[in-house]
Structure 1
Amino acid sequence: MKYYLILVVLFFVACESNSPEPDFDCANSDLSLTVVSSVKSDCSKPGSITVEAIGGKEEYLYSLNGVSFQRSSVFEDLFAGDFELFVKDENECLASIPFTLESEPDGISLSVSTTISECSNATGSITAQATGGVGILQFSLDGSSFSEENSFENVAAGSHEVSVMDEDGCIISKDVSVKTDVSLEKDIMPIIETNCAITNCHNGSRSPTLITNIEIISNAGRIKSETQEGSMPRGGTLSQLEIDLIACWADDGAPNN
Protein backbone atom coordinates (compact mmCIF):
# COMPACT_ATOMS: atom_id res chain seq x y z
CA MET A 1 0.00 0.00 0.00
CA LYS A 2 2.83 2.44 0.77
CA TYR A 3 4.39 1.87 -2.64
CA TYR A 4 1.04 2.43 -4.28
CA LEU A 5 0.62 5.80 -2.56
CA ILE A 6 4.11 6.89 -3.57
CA LEU A 7 3.42 6.01 -7.19
CA VAL A 8 0.19 7.97 -7.13
CA VAL A 9 1.91 11.02 -5.69
CA LEU A 10 4.73 10.80 -8.21
CA PHE A 11 2.29 10.40 -11.07
CA PHE A 12 0.28 13.40 -9.86
CA VAL A 13 3.42 15.55 -9.59
CA ALA A 14 4.57 14.50 -13.04
CA CYS A 15 1.21 15.47 -14.52
CA GLU A 16 1.34 18.77 -12.71
CA SER A 17 4.81 19.59 -14.04
CA ASN A 18 3.86 18.77 -17.65
CA SER A 19 0.66 20.78 -17.70
CA PRO A 20 0.85 23.95 -19.83
CA GLU A 21 1.15 27.28 -18.10
CA PRO A 22 -2.02 29.37 -18.34
CA ASP A 23 -2.03 32.39 -20.62
CA PHE A 24 -1.11 35.67 -18.93
CA ASP A 25 -4.05 38.06 -18.84
CA CYS A 26 -2.73 41.21 -20.55
CA ALA A 27 -5.55 43.19 -18.97
CA ASN A 28 -3.44 43.01 -15.79
CA SER A 29 -0.20 44.13 -17.46
CA ASP A 30 1.45 47.44 -16.51
CA LEU A 31 3.37 47.58 -19.81
CA SER A 32 3.68 51.07 -21.27
CA LEU A 33 5.72 52.95 -23.83
CA THR A 34 7.14 56.45 -24.03
CA VAL A 35 9.12 58.48 -26.58
CA VAL A 36 12.42 59.65 -25.10
CA SER A 37 13.78 61.56 -28.11
CA SER A 38 13.24 62.31 -31.80
CA VAL A 39 15.12 63.94 -34.68
CA LYS A 40 13.20 66.04 -37.23
CA SER A 41 13.44 65.15 -40.91
CA ASP A 42 13.62 66.95 -44.23
CA CYS A 43 13.85 65.78 -47.85
CA SER A 44 17.57 65.02 -47.72
CA LYS A 45 17.87 63.95 -44.07
CA PRO A 46 15.52 61.36 -42.56
CA GLY A 47 14.66 61.63 -38.89
CA SER A 48 14.46 59.12 -36.05
CA ILE A 49 12.40 58.18 -32.99
CA THR A 50 13.73 56.58 -29.78
CA VAL A 51 11.31 54.91 -27.36
CA GLU A 52 11.51 53.29 -23.94
CA ALA A 53 9.38 50.46 -22.52
CA ILE A 54 8.30 50.42 -18.89
CA GLY A 55 6.76 47.56 -16.90
CA GLY A 56 5.56 44.28 -18.35
CA LYS A 57 7.99 41.37 -18.62
CA GLU A 58 11.34 41.75 -20.35
CA GLU A 59 12.55 41.18 -23.08
CA TYR A 60 10.88 43.81 -25.25
CA LEU A 61 10.31 44.02 -29.00
CA TYR A 62 9.40 47.27 -30.75
CA SER A 63 7.45 48.14 -33.88
CA LEU A 64 6.29 51.15 -35.90
CA ASN A 65 3.28 49.38 -37.35
CA GLY A 66 2.45 46.52 -35.00
CA VAL A 67 3.53 43.91 -37.59
CA SER A 68 7.32 43.95 -37.97
CA PHE A 69 9.08 43.93 -34.60
CA GLN A 70 12.72 44.59 -33.73
CA ARG A 71 14.90 44.46 -30.61
CA SER A 72 16.20 47.99 -31.03
CA SER A 73 14.19 50.80 -29.46
CA VAL A 74 15.46 53.27 -32.10
CA PHE A 75 13.64 53.77 -35.40
CA GLU A 76 15.74 55.46 -38.07
CA ASP A 77 15.36 56.65 -41.69
CA LEU A 78 11.92 58.11 -40.98
CA PHE A 79 10.20 60.98 -42.71
CA ALA A 80 7.82 63.36 -40.97
CA GLY A 81 4.31 62.10 -40.27
CA ASP A 82 2.06 60.30 -37.80
CA PHE A 83 3.18 56.97 -36.38
CA GLU A 84 1.75 54.33 -34.05
CA LEU A 85 4.58 52.97 -31.87
CA PHE A 86 4.27 49.52 -30.31
CA VAL A 87 6.07 47.44 -27.70
CA LYS A 88 5.53 43.72 -27.08
CA ASP A 89 6.85 41.94 -23.99
CA GLU A 90 7.64 38.30 -23.23
CA ASN A 91 4.00 37.69 -22.23
CA GLU A 92 2.97 38.75 -25.76
CA CYS A 93 1.22 41.80 -24.28
CA LEU A 94 1.14 44.97 -26.37
CA ALA A 95 1.22 48.66 -25.55
CA SER A 96 1.16 51.50 -28.06
CA ILE A 97 1.23 55.28 -28.31
CA PRO A 98 0.71 57.69 -31.22
CA PHE A 99 3.52 60.05 -32.13
CA THR A 100 3.96 62.78 -34.75
CA LEU A 101 7.47 63.19 -36.14
CA GLU A 102 7.89 66.78 -37.22
CA SER A 103 9.73 68.04 -40.29
CA GLU A 104 12.19 70.86 -40.65
CA PRO A 105 10.72 74.13 -42.05
CA ASP A 106 9.40 73.65 -45.61
CA GLY A 107 9.75 69.88 -45.30
CA ILE A 108 7.01 67.42 -46.30
CA SER A 109 4.96 65.64 -43.65
CA LEU A 110 3.13 62.44 -44.68
CA SER A 111 0.39 60.61 -42.78
CA VAL A 112 -1.40 57.47 -43.95
CA SER A 113 -4.62 55.75 -42.91
CA THR A 114 -5.91 52.33 -43.96
CA THR A 115 -9.00 50.14 -43.92
CA ILE A 116 -8.88 46.36 -43.53
CA SER A 117 -8.93 43.99 -46.47
CA GLU A 118 -10.53 40.59 -46.80
CA CYS A 119 -7.97 37.81 -46.46
CA SER A 120 -8.27 36.40 -49.99
CA ASN A 121 -9.60 39.47 -51.82
CA ALA A 122 -8.09 42.94 -52.27
CA THR A 123 -10.76 45.05 -50.58
CA GLY A 124 -8.66 47.38 -48.43
CA SER A 125 -7.87 51.03 -48.99
CA ILE A 126 -5.08 53.51 -48.24
CA THR A 127 -5.48 57.28 -47.91
CA ALA A 128 -2.46 59.59 -47.78
CA GLN A 129 -2.42 63.12 -46.34
CA ALA A 130 0.60 65.37 -46.84
CA THR A 131 1.51 68.95 -45.99
CA GLY A 132 4.49 71.20 -46.62
CA GLY A 133 6.91 70.96 -49.51
CA VAL A 134 6.87 73.14 -52.62
CA GLY A 135 3.82 73.53 -54.84
CA ILE A 136 1.32 70.79 -55.67
CA LEU A 137 1.92 67.40 -54.04
CA GLN A 138 1.48 64.10 -55.89
CA PHE A 139 1.16 60.57 -54.56
CA SER A 140 2.21 57.05 -55.54
CA LEU A 141 1.50 53.55 -54.17
CA ASP A 142 4.10 50.80 -54.54
CA GLY A 143 6.00 52.57 -57.31
CA SER A 144 3.00 53.50 -59.46
CA SER A 145 2.94 56.76 -61.45
CA PHE A 146 2.59 59.91 -59.35
CA SER A 147 -0.74 61.76 -59.45
CA GLU A 148 -2.72 64.18 -57.31
CA GLU A 149 -5.05 61.33 -56.27
CA ASN A 150 -4.30 60.52 -52.64
CA SER A 151 -6.69 57.59 -52.13
CA PHE A 152 -6.04 54.03 -53.30
CA GLU A 153 -8.81 51.42 -53.44
CA ASN A 154 -8.85 47.62 -53.85
CA VAL A 155 -5.61 47.22 -51.95
CA ALA A 156 -4.55 43.73 -50.87
CA ALA A 157 -3.55 42.87 -47.32
CA GLY A 158 0.15 43.15 -46.60
CA SER A 159 2.96 45.71 -46.71
CA HIS A 160 2.87 48.68 -49.08
CA GLU A 161 4.89 51.83 -49.72
CA VAL A 162 3.23 55.24 -50.07
CA SER A 163 5.27 58.09 -51.57
CA VAL A 164 4.63 61.81 -51.96
CA MET A 165 6.52 64.20 -54.28
CA ASP A 166 6.53 67.99 -54.45
CA GLU A 167 7.24 70.23 -57.46
CA ASP A 168 10.95 70.37 -56.60
CA GLY A 169 11.14 66.59 -56.95
CA CYS A 170 11.52 65.98 -53.24
CA ILE A 171 10.14 62.49 -52.54
CA ILE A 172 9.48 60.95 -49.15
CA SER A 173 8.04 57.48 -48.58
CA LYS A 174 6.36 55.61 -45.79
CA ASP A 175 5.77 51.90 -45.25
CA VAL A 176 2.23 50.96 -44.30
CA SER A 177 0.52 47.67 -43.52
CA VAL A 178 -3.03 46.81 -44.62
CA LYS A 179 -4.38 44.25 -42.18
CA THR A 180 -7.26 41.78 -42.24
CA ASP A 181 -10.00 40.92 -39.77
CA VAL A 182 -8.79 37.32 -39.29
CA SER A 183 -9.15 36.41 -35.61
CA LEU A 184 -7.00 34.07 -33.52
CA GLU A 185 -9.96 32.98 -31.38
CA LYS A 186 -12.59 32.75 -34.12
CA ASP A 187 -10.57 31.58 -37.13
CA ILE A 188 -7.16 30.19 -36.17
CA MET A 189 -7.73 28.37 -32.86
CA PRO A 190 -10.44 26.06 -34.32
CA ILE A 191 -8.05 25.05 -37.15
CA ILE A 192 -5.21 24.30 -34.71
CA GLU A 193 -7.43 22.51 -32.18
CA THR A 194 -9.02 20.27 -34.84
CA ASN A 195 -5.96 19.46 -36.92
CA CYS A 196 -2.81 20.05 -34.87
CA ALA A 197 -3.35 20.10 -31.09
CA ILE A 198 -4.48 16.46 -31.09
CA THR A 199 -3.19 13.15 -29.72
CA ASN A 200 0.36 12.29 -30.82
CA CYS A 201 0.80 15.75 -32.30
CA HIS A 202 1.12 19.31 -30.90
CA ASN A 203 -0.95 18.68 -27.76
CA GLY A 204 2.25 18.04 -25.80
CA SER A 205 3.34 14.85 -27.57
CA ARG A 206 5.30 16.74 -30.23
CA SER A 207 7.24 19.99 -30.09
CA PRO A 208 6.17 22.74 -30.20
CA THR A 209 3.08 22.46 -28.02
CA LEU A 210 0.19 24.41 -29.57
CA ILE A 211 -2.44 24.59 -26.86
CA THR A 212 -2.41 28.10 -25.44
CA ASN A 213 -2.74 31.40 -27.28
CA ILE A 214 0.83 32.38 -26.42
CA GLU A 215 2.23 29.09 -27.74
CA ILE A 216 0.42 29.55 -31.05
CA ILE A 217 1.41 33.23 -31.35
CA SER A 218 5.06 32.43 -30.58
CA ASN A 219 5.12 29.84 -33.39
CA ALA A 220 3.09 31.83 -35.93
CA GLY A 221 5.89 32.02 -38.51
CA ARG A 222 6.57 28.29 -38.31
CA ILE A 223 2.87 27.43 -38.51
CA LYS A 224 2.50 29.61 -41.60
CA SER A 225 5.50 28.17 -43.43
CA GLU A 226 4.70 24.53 -42.64
CA THR A 227 1.02 24.80 -43.56
CA GLN A 228 1.94 26.46 -46.85
CA GLU A 229 4.50 23.71 -47.55
CA GLY A 230 1.92 21.04 -46.74
CA SER A 231 4.05 19.49 -43.98
CA MET A 232 1.53 20.52 -41.31
CA PRO A 233 -0.66 18.92 -40.13
CA ARG A 234 1.22 15.64 -40.34
CA GLY A 235 -0.93 12.93 -41.81
CA GLY A 236 -3.69 15.39 -42.73
CA THR A 237 -4.55 18.26 -45.00
CA LEU A 238 -5.99 21.74 -44.70
CA SER A 239 -8.27 23.47 -47.15
CA GLN A 240 -6.85 26.35 -49.15
CA LEU A 241 -9.10 28.71 -47.17
CA GLU A 242 -7.62 27.47 -43.87
CA ILE A 243 -4.07 27.87 -45.22
CA ASP A 244 -4.86 31.40 -46.40
CA LEU A 245 -6.41 32.35 -43.04
CA ILE A 246 -3.29 31.23 -41.16
CA ALA A 247 -1.05 33.19 -43.56
CA CYS A 248 -3.16 36.36 -43.28
CA TRP A 249 -3.20 36.17 -39.49
CA ALA A 250 0.57 35.62 -39.31
CA ASP A 251 1.20 38.47 -41.78
CA ASP A 252 -0.97 40.73 -39.62
CA GLY A 253 1.62 40.25 -36.87
CA ALA A 254 -0.06 37.26 -35.18
CA PRO A 255 -2.34 39.40 -32.97
CA ASN A 256 -3.91 37.94 -29.84
CA ASN A 257 -7.41 38.80 -31.05
Structure 2
Amino acid sequence: MIRRAKYVHFFLIGLLASACANHSEEELVDCATSGLTLAVDNQANPSGCGVEDGTITVSGTGGRTPYQFSLDGTTFQANGAFSKLLGGSYTVTLKDANGCATTTDVTLQVPSSDLTASAETTMTTGCDTNNGSITVTAEGSKTPFQYKLGTGAFGDNPVFENLASGQYSVTVRDADNCAQVISTTVARGESGVTFSGDIKAIIQANCAVSGCHVAGGQSPNFTLFSNVKANAAAIKTRTGARIMPPAGQPALSQSAINEIACWVDDGAKDN
Protein backbone atom coordinates (compact mmCIF):
# COMPACT_ATOMS: atom_id res chain seq x y z
CA MET A 1 0.00 0.00 0.00
CA ILE A 2 2.85 2.39 0.86
CA ARG A 3 4.69 1.58 -2.37
CA ARG A 4 1.48 2.14 -4.37
CA ALA A 5 0.86 5.50 -2.65
CA LYS A 6 4.40 6.63 -3.46
CA TYR A 7 3.92 5.58 -7.07
CA VAL A 8 0.70 7.59 -7.37
CA HIS A 9 2.37 10.60 -5.72
CA PHE A 10 5.31 10.65 -8.13
CA PHE A 11 3.01 9.94 -11.08
CA LEU A 12 0.92 13.04 -10.25
CA ILE A 13 4.04 15.18 -9.88
CA GLY A 14 5.28 13.98 -13.26
CA LEU A 15 1.89 14.59 -14.85
CA LEU A 16 1.78 18.15 -13.47
CA ALA A 17 5.29 18.94 -14.71
CA SER A 18 4.47 17.51 -18.13
CA ALA A 19 1.32 19.60 -18.37
CA CYS A 20 3.32 22.75 -17.60
CA ALA A 21 6.21 21.92 -19.89
CA ASN A 22 3.96 21.02 -22.82
CA HIS A 23 1.66 23.99 -22.38
CA SER A 24 2.47 26.97 -24.61
CA GLU A 25 1.35 29.97 -22.62
CA GLU A 26 1.45 33.37 -24.32
CA GLU A 27 4.02 35.76 -22.92
CA LEU A 28 2.69 37.79 -20.02
CA VAL A 29 2.50 41.52 -20.68
CA ASP A 30 3.31 44.41 -18.37
CA CYS A 31 0.45 46.82 -19.10
CA ALA A 32 2.45 49.75 -17.72
CA THR A 33 4.86 49.45 -20.66
CA SER A 34 2.41 48.31 -23.36
CA GLY A 35 2.15 51.79 -24.96
CA LEU A 36 -1.65 51.59 -25.12
CA THR A 37 -3.04 55.06 -25.94
CA LEU A 38 -6.59 56.39 -26.37
CA ALA A 39 -7.28 59.50 -28.50
CA VAL A 40 -10.48 61.53 -28.97
CA ASP A 41 -10.94 61.96 -32.74
CA ASN A 42 -14.23 63.86 -32.71
CA GLN A 43 -17.05 64.96 -30.43
CA ALA A 44 -20.35 66.75 -31.04
CA ASN A 45 -22.58 68.33 -28.42
CA PRO A 46 -26.28 67.47 -28.29
CA SER A 47 -28.46 69.94 -30.20
CA GLY A 48 -30.72 70.80 -27.29
CA CYS A 49 -31.96 70.12 -23.80
CA GLY A 50 -32.97 66.49 -23.34
CA VAL A 51 -32.00 65.62 -26.93
CA GLU A 52 -29.94 62.44 -27.29
CA ASP A 53 -27.92 63.27 -30.40
CA GLY A 54 -24.43 63.92 -29.04
CA THR A 55 -21.53 61.84 -30.35
CA ILE A 56 -18.02 60.82 -29.31
CA THR A 57 -15.50 59.08 -31.57
CA VAL A 58 -12.21 57.69 -30.23
CA SER A 59 -9.40 55.47 -31.49
CA GLY A 60 -6.59 53.45 -29.97
CA THR A 61 -2.91 52.82 -30.69
CA GLY A 62 -0.25 50.61 -29.12
CA GLY A 63 -0.92 47.51 -27.07
CA ARG A 64 -2.31 44.51 -28.92
CA THR A 65 -5.27 44.49 -31.27
CA PRO A 66 -8.18 43.92 -31.49
CA TYR A 67 -9.39 46.78 -29.31
CA GLN A 68 -12.64 47.18 -27.42
CA PHE A 69 -14.28 50.43 -26.31
CA SER A 70 -16.76 51.31 -23.56
CA LEU A 71 -18.57 54.30 -22.03
CA ASP A 72 -19.42 52.58 -18.77
CA GLY A 73 -16.41 50.30 -18.19
CA THR A 74 -18.65 47.22 -18.42
CA THR A 75 -20.30 47.00 -21.85
CA PHE A 76 -17.68 46.98 -24.62
CA GLN A 77 -17.93 47.29 -28.41
CA ALA A 78 -15.52 46.73 -31.27
CA ASN A 79 -15.50 50.32 -32.55
CA GLY A 80 -14.87 53.69 -30.92
CA ALA A 81 -17.99 55.51 -32.16
CA PHE A 82 -20.67 56.39 -29.59
CA SER A 83 -23.91 58.14 -30.53
CA LYS A 84 -27.31 59.13 -29.10
CA LEU A 85 -25.65 60.81 -26.10
CA LEU A 86 -27.02 63.37 -23.68
CA GLY A 87 -24.87 66.19 -22.41
CA GLY A 88 -22.51 65.47 -19.56
CA SER A 89 -19.10 64.04 -18.67
CA TYR A 90 -18.16 60.62 -20.03
CA THR A 91 -15.23 58.36 -19.23
CA VAL A 92 -14.27 56.36 -22.32
CA THR A 93 -12.34 53.10 -21.78
CA LEU A 94 -10.07 51.37 -24.29
CA LYS A 95 -9.13 47.72 -23.64
CA ASP A 96 -6.75 45.67 -25.78
CA ALA A 97 -6.42 41.94 -26.43
CA ASN A 98 -3.98 41.58 -23.51
CA GLY A 99 -6.57 42.92 -21.06
CA CYS A 100 -4.68 46.22 -20.62
CA ALA A 101 -6.89 49.31 -20.37
CA THR A 102 -6.69 53.10 -20.44
CA THR A 103 -9.32 55.85 -20.10
CA THR A 104 -9.98 59.45 -21.09
CA ASP A 105 -12.69 61.93 -20.07
CA VAL A 106 -14.91 63.71 -22.60
CA THR A 107 -17.48 66.43 -21.77
CA LEU A 108 -20.48 67.25 -23.99
CA GLN A 109 -22.13 70.63 -23.36
CA VAL A 110 -25.89 71.22 -23.56
CA PRO A 111 -26.82 74.58 -25.13
CA SER A 112 -29.33 76.84 -23.34
CA SER A 113 -29.23 74.83 -20.09
CA ASP A 114 -27.95 75.95 -16.71
CA LEU A 115 -28.03 72.44 -15.22
CA THR A 116 -24.70 71.36 -13.74
CA ALA A 117 -23.91 68.29 -11.69
CA SER A 118 -20.97 66.70 -9.92
CA ALA A 119 -20.41 63.54 -7.90
CA GLU A 120 -18.41 62.57 -4.83
CA THR A 121 -17.63 58.95 -4.02
CA THR A 122 -16.54 56.91 -1.01
CA MET A 123 -14.24 53.98 -1.71
CA THR A 124 -14.86 50.40 -0.80
CA THR A 125 -13.02 48.74 2.08
CA GLY A 126 -11.97 45.09 2.28
CA CYS A 127 -11.63 42.56 -0.53
CA ASP A 128 -14.55 41.96 -2.91
CA THR A 129 -16.98 44.10 -0.89
CA ASN A 130 -19.87 46.33 -1.97
CA ASN A 131 -19.77 49.21 0.51
CA GLY A 132 -18.90 52.17 -1.72
CA SER A 133 -21.23 55.08 -2.43
CA ILE A 134 -21.91 57.98 -4.82
CA THR A 135 -23.40 61.33 -3.76
CA VAL A 136 -24.57 63.67 -6.54
CA THR A 137 -24.84 67.46 -6.25
CA ALA A 138 -26.96 69.26 -8.87
CA GLU A 139 -27.44 72.99 -9.47
CA GLY A 140 -29.70 74.93 -11.81
CA SER A 141 -32.87 77.01 -11.95
CA LYS A 142 -35.25 74.25 -13.08
CA THR A 143 -35.91 72.33 -9.88
CA PRO A 144 -36.70 69.72 -8.62
CA PHE A 145 -33.97 67.34 -9.78
CA GLN A 146 -34.14 63.59 -10.20
CA TYR A 147 -31.34 61.04 -10.32
CA LYS A 148 -30.71 57.55 -11.68
CA LEU A 149 -27.78 55.13 -11.59
CA GLY A 150 -26.95 53.40 -14.86
CA THR A 151 -30.09 52.11 -16.55
CA GLY A 152 -32.17 52.25 -13.36
CA ALA A 153 -35.25 54.36 -12.73
CA PHE A 154 -35.21 58.05 -11.80
CA GLY A 155 -35.80 58.95 -8.18
CA ASP A 156 -35.45 61.85 -5.76
CA ASN A 157 -32.47 60.44 -3.80
CA PRO A 158 -29.06 61.76 -4.92
CA VAL A 159 -27.18 59.13 -2.89
CA PHE A 160 -26.42 55.62 -4.17
CA GLU A 161 -25.03 53.13 -1.66
CA ASN A 162 -23.85 49.51 -1.39
CA LEU A 163 -21.74 49.77 -4.54
CA ALA A 164 -18.80 47.66 -5.63
CA SER A 165 -15.66 49.40 -6.84
CA GLY A 166 -15.79 50.31 -10.50
CA GLN A 167 -17.01 52.84 -13.04
CA TYR A 168 -20.58 54.16 -12.91
CA SER A 169 -22.83 56.42 -14.95
CA VAL A 170 -25.27 58.72 -13.11
CA THR A 171 -27.92 60.81 -14.88
CA VAL A 172 -29.40 63.98 -13.39
CA ARG A 173 -32.66 65.40 -14.81
CA ASP A 174 -34.27 68.78 -14.09
CA ALA A 175 -37.91 69.87 -14.26
CA ASP A 176 -37.54 70.77 -17.98
CA ASN A 177 -36.40 67.21 -18.71
CA CYS A 178 -32.90 68.45 -19.43
CA ALA A 179 -30.35 65.82 -18.38
CA GLN A 180 -26.66 65.62 -17.58
CA VAL A 181 -24.66 62.39 -17.46
CA ILE A 182 -21.81 61.99 -14.97
CA SER A 183 -19.22 59.23 -15.32
CA THR A 184 -17.57 58.53 -11.98
CA THR A 185 -15.51 55.80 -10.37
CA VAL A 186 -15.89 54.20 -6.97
CA ALA A 187 -12.32 53.47 -5.95
CA ARG A 188 -11.19 50.31 -4.23
CA GLY A 189 -9.72 50.94 -0.79
CA GLU A 190 -6.98 48.85 0.76
CA SER A 191 -8.20 45.27 0.83
CA GLY A 192 -5.94 43.87 3.55
CA VAL A 193 -4.66 41.12 1.22
CA THR A 194 -0.88 40.69 1.48
CA PHE A 195 1.69 39.04 -0.75
CA SER A 196 3.49 37.26 2.08
CA GLY A 197 0.35 36.06 3.82
CA ASP A 198 -1.97 35.31 0.89
CA ILE A 199 -0.66 35.63 -2.67
CA LYS A 200 2.77 33.99 -2.38
CA ALA A 201 1.25 30.67 -1.33
CA ILE A 202 -1.21 30.74 -4.25
CA ILE A 203 1.58 31.45 -6.76
CA GLN A 204 3.91 28.81 -5.33
CA ALA A 205 1.22 26.13 -5.23
CA ASN A 206 -0.25 26.76 -8.68
CA CYS A 207 2.19 28.66 -10.92
CA ALA A 208 5.78 28.43 -9.67
CA VAL A 209 5.90 24.62 -9.87
CA SER A 210 8.22 22.18 -11.60
CA GLY A 211 8.26 22.77 -15.35
CA CYS A 212 6.34 26.03 -15.11
CA HIS A 213 7.30 29.50 -13.85
CA VAL A 214 10.52 28.54 -12.04
CA ALA A 215 14.23 28.83 -12.79
CA GLY A 216 14.96 26.74 -15.87
CA GLY A 217 11.27 26.41 -16.66
CA GLN A 218 8.75 28.56 -18.45
CA SER A 219 9.50 32.30 -18.30
CA PRO A 220 8.98 34.45 -16.28
CA ASN A 221 10.27 32.94 -13.04
CA PHE A 222 7.54 33.48 -10.44
CA THR A 223 9.71 32.43 -7.52
CA LEU A 224 11.04 36.02 -7.74
CA PHE A 225 8.73 38.72 -6.41
CA SER A 226 9.99 41.25 -8.96
CA ASN A 227 8.70 39.07 -11.80
CA VAL A 228 5.34 38.53 -10.12
CA LYS A 229 4.93 42.29 -9.61
CA ALA A 230 5.97 43.13 -13.18
CA ASN A 231 3.31 40.74 -14.52
CA ALA A 232 0.67 41.41 -11.85
CA ALA A 233 -1.94 42.95 -14.18
CA ALA A 234 -1.64 40.06 -16.64
CA ILE A 235 -1.83 37.51 -13.80
CA LYS A 236 -5.05 39.14 -12.60
CA THR A 237 -6.53 39.09 -16.10
CA ARG A 238 -5.57 35.48 -16.82
CA THR A 239 -6.64 34.05 -13.47
CA GLY A 240 -9.90 35.98 -13.69
CA ALA A 241 -10.53 34.45 -17.12
CA ARG A 242 -9.55 31.01 -15.74
CA ILE A 243 -6.81 30.48 -18.33
CA MET A 244 -4.08 30.52 -15.69
CA PRO A 245 -2.97 28.06 -14.32
CA PRO A 246 -2.89 26.20 -17.67
CA ALA A 247 -4.84 23.10 -18.58
CA GLY A 248 -3.70 20.04 -16.67
CA GLN A 249 -3.37 21.83 -13.34
CA PRO A 250 -6.04 22.22 -10.66
CA ALA A 251 -8.22 25.30 -11.16
CA LEU A 252 -8.01 28.18 -8.70
CA SER A 253 -10.87 28.69 -6.30
CA GLN A 254 -12.96 31.84 -6.73
CA SER A 255 -11.70 33.13 -3.38
CA ALA A 256 -8.08 32.79 -4.60
CA ILE A 257 -8.96 34.62 -7.82
CA ASN A 258 -10.59 37.40 -5.80
CA GLU A 259 -7.56 37.72 -3.53
CA ILE A 260 -5.23 38.03 -6.52
CA ALA A 261 -7.45 40.75 -8.01
CA CYS A 262 -7.57 42.64 -4.71
CA TRP A 263 -3.80 42.46 -4.24
CA VAL A 264 -3.16 43.70 -7.78
CA ASP A 265 -5.70 46.52 -7.41
CA ASP A 266 -3.96 47.53 -4.17
CA GLY A 267 -0.79 48.11 -6.20
CA ALA A 268 0.83 44.64 -6.13
CA LYS A 269 2.79 45.53 -3.01
CA ASP A 270 5.59 43.53 -1.41
CA ASN A 271 3.72 43.32 1.88
TM-score computed with the length of structure 1 as normaliser: 0.60
Match of 1:167 among 175, 180, 184: 175
Q: 1:146 is matched by which residue type in structure 2?
A: G
**Partners of 1:91 and 1:214 within 8 A in 2:** no
Match of 2:135 among 120, 127, 130: 127
In structure 1, C-alpha distance between the alignment counterparts of 2:253 and 2:238, rounded to whole Å: 18
**Partners of 2:28 and 2:234 within 8 A in 1:** no
What SS does the aligned partner of 1:134 have?
A: coil
Match of 2:225 in 1: none
Superposition CA RMSD, Å = 4.9
Answer yes or no: is 1:104 the counterpart of 2:118.
no
Distance apart, 1:201 and its partner CA: 9.4
For residues 85-111 of structure 1, the C-alpha deviation after alignment (integer angstroms, 9 at most, x for no partner) is 333445555443322122233385554
Distance apart, 1:170 and its partner CA: 5.0
Note closer, same or farther for the CA distance 1:77–1:216 as it changes in structure 2 (3 Å cut).
farther
Match of 2:70 in 1: 63
Match of 1:48 in 2: 55
Q: 1:26 is matched by which residue type in structure 2?
A: A
Match of 2:207 among 182, 191, 197: 197
In structure 2, C-alpha distance between the alignment counterparts of 1:173 and 1:223, rounded to whole Å: 35
In structure 2, C-alpha distance between the alignment counterparts of 1:94 and 1:159, rounded to whole Å: 13
Q: Structure 1 stretches of 5 or more lacking a match?
A: 1-14, 227-231
Query: Matches of residues 84-233 of structure 1 in structure 2 within 5 Å?
Result: 84-90=91-97, 92-106=99-113, 110-118=117-125, 119-130=127-138, 134-141=142-149, 143=152, 146-147=155-156, 150-157=158-165, 162-170=170-178, 177-181=185-189, 190=200, 192-199=202-209, 212-213=231-232, 215-223=234-242
Match of 1:39 in 2: 44
Q: 2:44 is matched by which residue type in structure 1?
A: V
Number of residue equivalences: 228
Q: 1:134 is matched by which residue type in structure 2?
A: K
In structure 2, C-alpha distance between the alignment counterparts of 1:60 and 1:152, rounded to whole Å: 32
Answer yes or no: is 1:234 the counterpart of 2:250.
yes
In structure 2, C-alpha distance between the alignment counterparts of 1:60 and 1:239, rounded to whole Å: 27
In structure 2, C-alpha distance between the alignment counterparts of 1:25 and 1:176, rounded to whole Å: 23
In structure 1, C-alpha distance between the alignment counterparts of 2:43 and 2:209, rounded to whole Å: 52
In structure 2, C-alpha distance between the alignment counterparts of 1:68 and 1:190, rounded to whole Å: 33
Q: 1:135 is matched by which residue type in structure 2?
A: T
**Partners of 2:89 and 2:181 within 8 A in 1:** no
**Partners of 1:128 and 1:150 within 8 A in 2:** yes
Note closer, same or farther for the CA distance 1:31–1:105 as it changes in structure 2 (3 Å cut).
same
Distance apart, 1:166 and its partner CA: 1.5
**Partners of 1:79 and 1:109 within 8 A in 2:** no
| Percent of residue pairs identical | 27
